[in-house]
Chain A
Amino acid sequence: MSDAMREDKRVFLMGEEVAEYNGAYKVSRGMLDEFGPRRIIDTPISEGGFAGLGIGAAMHGLRPIIEFMSWSFSLVAADQILNNAPKMLYMSGGQFGCPIVFRGNNGAGGQLGSTHSWCVESLYSNVPGAKIAIPFDPYDAKGLLRTAILDPNPVFVLESERLLSIKGEVPEESYEIPFAEALIRRSGSDCTIVSFGRPLYFCLEAAEQLAKEGIDCEVIDGRTIRPLDIDTIVKSVRKTNYCVVVDQSWPFASVSSEIAAQVHMRCFDDLDNHVFRVNNDDVPAPYAYNLEQEMLPNARKIVEAVRAVTYNA
């Protein structure tokens, strides 16, 4: 964000506690000192208000970055981020684009209960007009965010509170990671596992365990849901003939069901079994530690799904 703000004065950051508090999760630490209060702007707790303000500013030529402390709170701004941002270009017949980034933590944070544990990707990816990126590690977080800021469309960047402490090599210089370019995080030949963001760690963990059993998994990080790099997934499935999609949102009408449908359409003759899915259980997120762990996609569930899908291998 700081790189983009140094290069382009049209970019500003707005959200709850982004300035004087240095970010509720310290993501914007030091930015107020560098850029001042005109460009790093604290807001009251008014998600609808500041999301809409950002959209209006984008229509008038600025490049806002709007932080949601949690994407769970974005639901109170649903009309602005789903009705206004993604549809402005269309409704205005190409006159007013909306180059804006909404970013913040998505997914279960750890015993936060149902209202604070939203995974919005399935809900929001249903809406045409916005793009959705989900970073896996610090390198991707920087590169995908930069691409998002430079993109002329509204982009939702779904970060994870649970991944903020992950450490990794990040180049000093600016770089972009193009959207719709999935990355193979682990190569394998027996079963394709597709996921996004935090559950990828569980996928990699499961893949190590399965390797010991002689099942060699290929783990694909989709990186962006819209646009979706289905070609990389299809190519992998044509090689492995099996596919498991791991998705931390609920199963019904979800990212996983969409990917399963597309894989079935594109790889019908290549599949040796139907696509298996591992999702959040179809229940509100519980508070109790054991229940929450059971509800989320985890390595055990992924291992079981891979074993089940490849039973006839």
Chain B
Amino acid sequence: MPSATTSPSKKNAATALPVDTRRRWLRDMLLIREFEVRTMQAYQNRKIGGFCHVYIGQEAVAVGCTAAVEHKDPIITAYRDHGHALARGMEPKYCMAEMYGRIGGCAKGKGGSMHMFDKRNNMFGGHGIVGAQTALGAGLAFATKYQDEVIDEKQNTRVTLCFLGDGALNQGIFHESMNLAGLLDLPVIYIVENNGYSMGTSISRGTTMGHEITAKAAGYGMDSAVIDGMDVLNVYEGMKPLVDRCRETSRPCFVDMRTYRFKGHSMSDPRKYRTKDEEKKYESDDPIDKLANAMISDNELSQEDYDAMVKEVRKEVRDAMKWSENSPEPDVSELYKDVYVDEWGPFTGTSLPEMLKD
């Protein structure tokens, strides 16, 4: 199988996208960044418990990829999932309240940071076990195709985006899922958010062919692409043709999305396994600065507009935190709800979160 490699952002193609679209992406990335900065603070202030993995540095990936698909297309990801939820359209308050462990959270405070679900926005989770979602992603794609062909007698209309980290490349379930997707012609795109580290283990220490992970896809007869994930325009332009082709041919594909997490693996990570120079190098490649600077220098965005946008986003996140703070803790009766759909024994059936009732 030939491997399509996209080149870094071309200015011509980038400026071909409407200014409003790029402004929206910039705002979406800013929102994720601000949300995650505040998430870190809230974690340090013990408003958020458990494990918490922030998306700072990788914003262009979630925003660019979700822009390349339609709203009806399912997406699913691993535990670094706040960015995907927000990019998919979840209101920040439901995401933040979930981490606060409040009833107003997207999962009524039962999922936490690693388990962001949003049925209305076709976001099928946040999944905590490395690689586990790759099989679910295959299943989502199987279902869309089955619903079209067996039930509605239509051609394939939906593409599933299944995100994973580079650490998931070494889980057996990833390989089983790739094989099944190839074998059953499933319309799923596996997007490896390759930030170079599975927790503290660099990809070269943990993954064979880590320098060329598209080799994994070749083994399953899948098309693949390498995309620079630090540039949202580039992400979009790299993803769009893959999505179109996947929809048309119902063939899976694989993306090595090169990105970098600016912060640690989780909140308790001192990052001793990488150098400050390396971090600086990537921080100078900030996807938000890159797009903002380009738009400002091309007179598509004034500094004042940008500052106003930053201010607006800050307020939005601050409001989300306030809302979360005021959302009550789940009633103890929630403990026995949502275990089974039906009521029996001590189990009290199920109910939807506030997010879906609005």
Q: A residues engaging B (CB < 8 A)?
A: 9-10, 12, 38-39, 41, 43-44, 46, 48-62, 79-80, 83-84, 88-97, 99, 128-129, 131, 151-153, 180, 227
Contacts and interface: CB of A to CB of B under 8 A. Distances in A.
Contacts of B143: 56-57, 59-62
Contact of B105 (A41, A49, A93, A227): A93
Interface string B94-129: 000000000001111111000101110000110101
B110 A91 contact: yes
B50 to A, nearest CB: 13
A59 B124 contact: yes
B136 interface: yes
B341 A44 contact: no
Given A95-B353, A180-B344, A90 B129 contact: no
B36 to A, nearest CB: 21
Contacts of B140: 56-57, 59-60
Contact of A49 (B106, B127, B176): B176
Contacts of B111: 91-93
Nearest to A88: B125
Q: Is the interface of B mostly helix, strand, loop or mixed?
A: mixed
B135 A51 contact: yes
A89 B339 contact: yes
Contacts of B117: 91-93, 95-96
Interface residues of B, number: 55
Given A46-B180, A79-B129, A94-B108, A52 B135 contact: yes
B16 interface: no
Contact of A48 (B127, B135, B337, B352): B135
A57 B342 CA distance: 21
Contacts of A97: 341, 350
Nearest to B178: A49
B338 interface: yes
Q: Considering residues B108, B129, B144, B338, which has the most beta carbons from chain A within 10 angstroms of its beta carbon?
A: B338
B136 A84 contact: yes
B58 to A, nearest CB: 23
Given A49-B180, A95-B356, A89 B341 contact: yes
15 contacts: A41-B184, A46-B176, A48-B172, A53-B177, A56-B76, A56-B135, A57-B142, A59-B140, A60-B140, A80-B132, A89-B338, A91-B117, A92-B117, A93-B111, A94-B353
B84 to A, nearest CB: 15
Given A55-B136, A94-B338, 4 more contacts: A48-B173, A84-B132, A95-B117, A180-B344
Nearest to B146: A62
Given A83-B129, A91-B107, A91-B115, A52 B342 contact: no
A53 B342 contact: no
A275 B296 CA distance: 79
A93 B353 contact: yes
Interface string B236-267: 00000000000000000000000000000000
A50 B119 CA distance: 23
